[in-house]
Structure 1
Amino acid sequence: PPGCPAHSMGAGPGGLRRYYGPEAENDPAGLYAKLRAEHGSVAPVLLHGDVPAWLVLGHSENLHLTRTPSQFSRDSRRWRALQDGSVAPDHPLAPIFTWQPVCAFADGDAHERLRGAVTDSMERIDTRGVRRHVNRFSNRLVNDFCEKGDAELVSQFAEHLPMMVVCAVFGMPEEYNDRMVQAARDMIRGTQTAVESNAYVVAALTRLVERRRAAPEEDLAGWLVSHPAGLTDVEVAEHLRLILVAAYESTANLIANVLRMVLTDPRFRARLSGGHMTVPEAVEQTLWDEPPFTAVFGRWAVGDTELGGQQIKAGDALLVGIAAANTDPAVRPDLTAGMEGNRAHLAFSGGPH
């Protein structure tokens, strides 16, 4: 009932459920079920600071959201809460929504130009070289704890391996350290130190761009600096930040989730050891059940529109509900059934972004 402690933990002003705090963090699946029951495939929620937004729960609604930039833009400057001052520049989610001259906040021709530079540069990465990095750094990390006999695989392996590889691919292996790992984890989590962590990462990337502008090298930073699109130093640094966050956070989470599933779930362990499932299939199943990002913030309504039966106003913020879409009863009526061979999950979002 309203007024009891359990009720107030998950509900905020107007009775809207908070998409942060204990309920959202401890039982996200339960929260999605409640929101579906109360609102359908698109639900009003509150972000940090009780800022209103829409969480898109339905699979087809999320595809429409991500595939229709004419209705739902990635340009965060459209956010009405920013325009009226109800969201401050030091908001915990500022590192995620603060507009930057990068492809993630652009649509149309501007997106194609910037994304083209990123795609062209990433296509020059030697995948065999990446595999060598993965093998070498994996051995180093395992050697650090193998004599002890036990390990905390998230903090001692999953969180470090992707950062070691990313720093090598970027051309800044000297920047890899515990502080870079923790800053990259912290900057997108809506914490009180997120803005400070973001500044640490940006400073490291800015130093890298300055070095590559002075002396080009054959690495991702060097290729972005010299790309014909003519990116400015700020654009290069911010795109490196975008790639770092997307590559590092998603890979660290996916490694941890797959390890946990393979090592602790008897069902999957038996299927793997019996040869009924390969490791890539286990990864694919994890992308359905525990995607690296549960939601992506955000899209902003270009004008008044309708989505999932809800009236969306111009400037409203929307979240791509990846985990919720992956468990949409319309596409997965039986959550215990395996999804081998089905890659319709939204673990990597959809549309031009």
Structure 2
Amino acid sequence: MNAPTPTGTPSEATEATEAAGGCPVRHGSTLTRLYGPQASEDPHGIYERLRHQHGPVAPVLLEGDVPAWLVLGYRENRRVLENPRQFTRDSRIWRDWKEGRVEDSSPLMQMVGWRPDCVSQEGEPHRRLRGAVTDNLQAVAGRGIRRHVTRFANKQIDAFAAEGSADLVGQYAEYLPMLVLTRLFGLAEGEGRRLAHSCAQVIKGGEEAVAHNDLIMKILAELAERKRAEPGSDFTTGLLHHQAGLDDGEILSHLRLVLIAAHTTTSNLLARVLQSVLTHPSHMAGLVSGQLNISAVVEEVMWNTPPLAVCPGRFATADLELGGQQVKAGDLLVLGLAAGNLDPEIRPDTTTTLHGNKAHLAFSGGSHECPGQGVGQAIIETAVDVLLHRLHALRLATAPDELTSTASTWESRLDRLPVEFTPQVV
């Protein structure tokens, strides 16, 4: 099909689908882009326009003008997540890649391309690899993770405590999870900031994503080699010696997977939880008095601003109908976790309190549900607790509506969280 080069902006919706089957036009002129300057400013506005125009499943363009289906409905997201026979994580059936329309060098491949890890597998291969990851995450979580968080949180706070002001994104949430992960992985603490930056660039996409991914893999390959010679009580050593017998490629792929996923989602979620605490006086008062548990605030944030707004990569295994759209075998689907959580079919009133309701999509679902929830929860709860106990008279240093965010295809991150507090002598 010869169609014009895409010229649409995120505010334009597509009315065009392939006459033969309904999958997104390969080079349609008005398909909505989920990337670019406008997409970075108002992703929720894009989701709502797409929902209004197309219903719970909408055709979109990803980076490089690659066509995909964006799943917006809560029930439709659940169907995709919980039916791996219809919607697989194995991208080797992705038609656009198989037919050469997506190059292996595309930044998009860093998020949806096949790797020898549990995310790319189904069935028994998935169970074998995920078992190794889960076992070792549980092991490191039980080895004083809160102690490590407390140490690094205090170290971060010491750097700005005497100033009486700080940016809790750039000076706290952005790097704290990675500092903890360096300890859990057996990495040198000095690698933390470089790895945090590279992980963020991989998620962000763009021309630099491939180079940053290569840097991450180089550091992790050196780590694995070192841990073969000098084993320790860390996540890396646990993977190397797990009874599942992971080969070298599987070891490196899982180190990469856990490092990127754990850091980027936890740092984003920590920033959003702190934002919620500082912009809702009742939250701050409840936490300080002990009448509110931080887990309740985390749940609320998981519903309203999940750390991963769009989850990459399911592929239809056969022609089927989803949300009124005709999806073809080999089509790429991306899961709108943020949009699904706000689906008016299940949340007609988004102001309703959701304490105790853990049915959100923030951890995805099904057999590929996030295995590191306990580690992330421990980091966030401890980080918030340490901050509130260390900084007296902590308050937001700007109006709540002046806080801004920047989105990529996959996430929306808080830009800054300026605060003031009583200066301390460290």
Q: Which residue of 2 aligns with 1:3?
A: none
Q: Structure 1 residue 234 and structure 2 residue 249: aligned? A: yes
1:22 deviates by 3.0
Q: Distance in 2 between matches of 1:279 and 1:330?
A: 28
Residue pair 2:179, 2:189 contacting (<8 A) in 1 also:
no
Query: Which of 105, 108, 132 does residue 120 from structure 2 map onto?
Result: 105
Q: Which residue of 1 aligns with 2:208?
A: 193
Structure 1: gaps of 5 or more residues: 1-5
Instruction: Tell me which moved more, 240-249 or 173-182.
Output: 173-182
Instruction: Tell me which moved more, 43-52 or 169-178.
Output: 169-178
Q: Which residue of 1 aligns with 2:225?
A: 210
Q: Distance in 2 between matches of 1:306 and 1:202?
A: 39
Q: Which residue of 1 aligns with 2:306?
A: 291
Residues 7-35 of structure 1: per-residue CA shift (max 9 Å, x gap): 74544834221111233221122111111
1:218 deviates by 1.7
Residues 42-66 of structure 1: per-residue CA shift (max 9 Å, x gap): 1111101111100001111101101
SS of 2:203 mapped into structure 1: coil
Q: Which residue of 1 aligns with 2:145?
A: 130
Structure 2: gaps of 5 or more residues: 1-6, 15-27, 369-426
Q: Distance in 1 between matches of 2:34 and 2:11?
A: 8
Q: Which residue of 2 aligns with 1:321?
A: 336
Q: TM-score, normalised by structure 1?
A: 0.94
Q: Structure 1 residue 307 and structure 2 residue 314: aligned? A: no
Q: What pairs with 1:210-289 in structure 2 (closer than 5 Å)? A: 210-266=225-281, 268-269=283-284, 272=287, 277-289=292-304
Query: Which of 194, 207, 227 does residue 179 from structure 1 map onto?
Result: 194
Letter in 1 for 2:268: N
Q: Which residue of 1 aligns with 2:98?
A: 83
1:128 deviates by 5.1
Letter in 1 for 2:299: E
Number of residue equivalences: 348
Residues 208-247 of structure 1: per-residue CA shift (max 9 Å, x gap): 1111222322211111101111111221111011111121
Q: Distance in 1 between matches of 2:99 and 2:136?
A: 38
1:176 deviates by 2.5
Q: What pairs with 1:3-18 in structure 2 (closer than 5 Å)? A: 8=9, 10-11=11-12, 13-18=28-33
SS of 1:352 mapped into structure 2: helix
Letter in 1 for 2:337: I
SS of 1:296 mapped into structure 2: strand
1:331 deviates by 1.2
1:204 deviates by 0.8
Q: Distance in 2 between matches of 1:214 and 1:102?
A: 24
Q: Structure 1 residue 330 and structure 2 residue 345: aligned? A: yes
Question: Do the aligned partners of residues 262 and 126 (structure 1) sit closer, same or farther apart at CA in structure 2, a change above 3 Å counting?
Answer: closer
Residue pair 1:10, 1:22 contacting (<8 A) in 2 also:
no
1:272 deviates by 5.0
Structure number with the higher helix fraction is 1
1:178 deviates by 2.2
Letter in 2 for 1:94: M
Q: Distance in 2 between matches of 1:230 and 1:81?
A: 33
1:264 deviates by 2.1
Q: Which residue of 1 aligns with 2:135?
A: 120
SS of 2:58 mapped into structure 1: strand
Q: Distance in 1 between matches of 2:137 and 2:290?
A: 34
Residues 241-279 of structure 1: per-residue CA shift (max 9 Å, x gap): 111112111110000001111112346446656766432
SS of 2:166 mapped into structure 1: coil
SS of 1:90 mapped into structure 2: coil
Q: Which residue of 2 aligns with 1:345?
A: 360
SS of 1:91 mapped into structure 2: coil
Question: Do the aligned partners of residues 213 and 160 (structure 1) sit closer, same or farther apart at CA in structure 2, a change above 3 Å counting?
Answer: same
Q: Distance in 1 between matches of 2:323 and 2:243?
A: 42
Q: Structure 1 residue 64 and structure 2 residue 82: aligned? A: no
1:105 deviates by 0.2
Q: Distance in 1 between matches of 2:269 and 2:338?
A: 13
Instruction: Tell me which moved more, 20-29 or 54-63.
Output: 20-29
Q: Distance in 2 between matches of 1:273 and 1:217?
A: 38
Query: Which of 44, 47, 59 does residue 29 from structure 1 map onto?
Result: 44
Give the percent of matched residue pairs that are identical in Structure 1 and Structure 2: 47
Q: Distance in 2 between matches of 1:153 and 1:23?
A: 26
SS of 2:140 mapped into structure 1: coil
Query: Which of 158, 164, 181 does residue 149 from structure 1 map onto?
Result: 164
Letter in 1 for 2:256: R
Q: Distance in 1 between matches of 2:137 and 2:101?
A: 38
1:41 deviates by 0.5
Q: Distance in 2 between matches of 1:29 and 1:100?
A: 31
Q: Distance in 1 between matches of 2:289 and 2:133?
A: 41
Q: Distance in 1 between matches of 2:190 and 2:165?
A: 28
Q: Distance in 1 between matches of 2:9 and 2:122?
A: 39
Residue pair 2:8, 2:33 contacting (<8 A) in 1 also:
no
Q: Distance in 1 between matches of 2:245 and 2:218?
A: 21
SS of 2:315 mapped into structure 1: strand
